[in-house]
Amino acid sequence: MYRILVVDDEPMIRLGLAKLITQTDPSMIEAKTAGNGLEALEAIQSLRPDFVFTDIKMPKMDGLEFSKHLYEQYGDITVVVISGYGDFEYAQKCMSYGVKEYLLKPVTKSVVHHMMNKLMIDRKAMQEKQRTYFPLSKLESWLEQLELAIWHLQVNDIQDKLQEIEDYCQIHRLESVQLQVLLDELYTKLIKQLNGRDVYTFDRIANLPEPYPSGQPDYFQGFRLLVEQTVKLIREKRKGNTKEPVEEAKAYIERNLSKDLSLDEVADMLG
């Protein structure tokens, strides 16, 4: 299903355009409308459209400023600018904000259908490319930051990182199987990295659920639960200490190599 948002301050135009867009393939297209850029930005938070068709001249927030916001905040949304002959200069300015498509008023059914077919073909090709490639650098960055936050029992940082991962996967619309593989690999590497500290032994607590039609919520709920159980395990092993006593002792000794340390001094440092 492709989600489209039509933005125009003239009700008849935006409703008519939304109807033409939907008629391209009613089974695959859902079109919503907004009267200006401000309304559209609010709608996008819940709708998360694939494509946005926007007029140039609108009250409160025009198409140029709106396109700038989309470019900065929602780079994955494809924007189509609708302009009249006298607005072409504005349409050109929108190109600097990542806009690559535009329609010239008055739009016709055939032109709209041609544009929609092109957009859907391009989006499908992009999704196929994403399905076969996930940036390793992104996975490694998540792993490093999440493992560090878990090891130091930094609850807020853990929640922030989990939310970042979930938001990224939702924005890029990972399919159920791809999402399962990604989170399973992240969890496997997380356990391996924790074991690499050579302090405690961590085993896989459980596996992520098999693919569900609803996809993401089930996987993320399962992944969050695995992370929470891992944090709980570390807390139990440390018996209430937020820092790992063995690592703290090693670090203290290394900082004081030039001194003759007694075991009592190390014990006092650990409390």
CATH number at residue 26: 3.40.50.2300
Answer whether residue 45 is part of any domain.
yes
Answer whether residue 24 is part of any domain.
yes
> Are 183 and 209 within one domain?
yes
Read off the pTM: 0.54
128 in Cβ contact with 119 (< 8 Å): no
Answer whether residue 169 is part of any domain.
yes
> Are 107 and 48 within one domain?
yes
How, if at all, do strands 101-104 and 51-55 pair? Answer: unpaired
Element (H, E) at 257: none
Distance, in Å, from the CA atom of 81 to the CA atom of 126, rounded to the nearest integer, reads: 21
- Give the model confidence (pLDDT) of 157-185 as tens digits: 999 999 999 888 887 777 666 787 788 88
Q: How many other C-beta atoms are found inside a 10 Å radius of the C-beta of residue 160?
A: 14
> Are 75 and 170 within one domain?
no
Answer whether residue 248 is part of any domain.
no
> Are 86 and 180 within one domain?
no
- Give the model confidence (pLDDT) of 44-83 as tens digits: 988 889 999 999 888 898 888 999 999 888 888 899 998 8
Residue 7: which domain range? 2-132
Q: Pick the residue with more confidence: 239 or 231?
A: 231
- Give the model confidence (pLDDT) of 19-40 as tens digits: 999 999 999 999 999 999 999 9
Q: Domain tally for the chain?
A: 2
